[in-house]
């Protein structure tokens, strides 16, 4: 496989996640919430071929792996792909493919995936409509798409971004990120032909609170206040939006 040429943004992302422990450990509560939501929204469905874009360590997609389900893991970070490879059982390696590259450029078979996971990636995407159209190309009719965004139009979203801007003056972030309004994300995928089926909103952390709560405590606080995708509450206070779309 040939790796596409990486531009500055992609290079920054790849470098930021080259050693991913800061993310996997520092965002464990958020990752756990995402995994539970994906599991609930796909409950009772079977999939033949899953595409996990920005796969991280594979936490979201590995539960689907089996003799009847193949998974394509795609990530800009070789460090993350190494983590995935280490977690794949020896007897199921023939059911996996690991790709290092840019989703918008890398060669993928059209209309071949019945589940696409695009979670935790939109923050590194400047053009959501371009991504929506690209996913539309590779997903099968009737396929599901799980995606996520931090709503820049939400009060808590604006609060967290303002705090991040302030602290970045003293401690720059690991790479540049983009800010999207949740309503714009929904419109982009609907314009590409997807129907929104379900969504779950919560706020992962607030300024200062995250500095004093460990990941176990953060997860407990989130679940106590927002519930789960199966039994959600106080959704209007959620700036993180996990969304399930379906392609008719």
DSSP characters over 53-82: ET-TTSTTTGGG-BTTBEEEEEES-HHHHH
**pLDDT for residue 2:** 31
Beta bridge pairs of residue 51: 72, 116
**pLDDT for residue 176:** 77
What Å distances lie between residue 128 and 100, 143, 183, CA to CA? 21, 19, 12
The CA distance from 96 to 63, in Å, is 13
CB-based contact 115:140 (threshold 8 Å): no
Per-residue tokens: 56: 């991280």
Q: Which of 64, 58, 120, 110 is nearest to 85 (CA)?
A: 58
The CA distance from 145 to 195, in Å, is 10
**pLDDT for residue 169:** 61
**pLDDT for residue 248:** 97
**pLDDT for residue 78:** 94
Per-residue tokens: 124: 């590194």
**pLDDT for residue 4:** 36
Edge-to-edge order in the sheet of strand 240-246: 96-100, 70-75, 49-53, 113-118, 139-150, 240-246, 195-202
Phi-psi region of 129 (alpha: psi -120 to 50; beta: other; left: phi over 0): alpha
Q: May I ask the CATH architecture of the domain 8-246?
A: 3-Layer(aba) Sandwich (3.40)
**pLDDT for residue 155:** 85
**pLDDT for residue 144:** 98
Q: How many CA atoms lie within 13 A of 77 on its CB side?
A: 23
Alpha helices in the chain (DSSP H): 8-16, 21-26, 28-41, 78-87, 128-138, 155-168, 182-191, 209-212, 215-226
**pLDDT for residue 35:** 97
**pLDDT for residue 17:** 81
Per-residue tokens: 166: 């302030």
Q: Which residues of the chain have pLDDT under 70?
A: 1-10, 162-165, 167-174, 206-211
pLDDT digits (tens, 9 = 90+) for 26-39: 889 999 999 999 99
**Sequence-separated (6 or more) residues with CB below 8 Å from residue 82:** none
């Amino acid at each position: 496989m040939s790796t596409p040429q990486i531009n500055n943004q992609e290079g920054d992302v790849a470098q930021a996640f080259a050693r991913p422990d800061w993310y996997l450990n520092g965002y464990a509560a958020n990752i756990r919430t995402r995994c539970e939501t994906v599991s609930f929204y796909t409950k009772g469905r079977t999939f033949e071929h899953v595409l996990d874009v920005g796969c991280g360590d594979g936490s979201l997609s590995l539960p689907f792996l089996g003799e009847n389900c193949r998974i394509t893991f795609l990530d800009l970070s070789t460090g993350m792909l190494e983590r995935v490879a280490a977690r794949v059982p020896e007897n199921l390696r023939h059911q996996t493919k690991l790709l290092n590259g840019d989703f918008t450029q890398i060669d993928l078979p059209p209309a071949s995936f019945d589940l696409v996971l695009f979670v935790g990636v939109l923050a590194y995407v400047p053009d959501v409509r371009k991504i929506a159209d690209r996913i539309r190309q590779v997903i099968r009719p009737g396929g599901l798409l799980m995606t996520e965004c931090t709503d820049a139009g939400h009060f808590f979203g604006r609060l967290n971004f303002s705090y991040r801007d302030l602290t970045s003056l003293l401690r720059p972030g690991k790479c540049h990120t983009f800010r999207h309004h949740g309503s714009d994300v929904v419109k982009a995928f609907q314009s590409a032909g997807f129907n929104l089926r379900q969504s779950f909103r919560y706020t992962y952390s607030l300024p200062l609170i995250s500095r004093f709560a460990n990941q176990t405590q953060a997860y407990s606080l989130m679940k106590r206040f927002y519930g789960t995708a199966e039994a959600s509450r106080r959704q209007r206070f959620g700036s993180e939006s996990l969304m399930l779309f379906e392609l008719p």
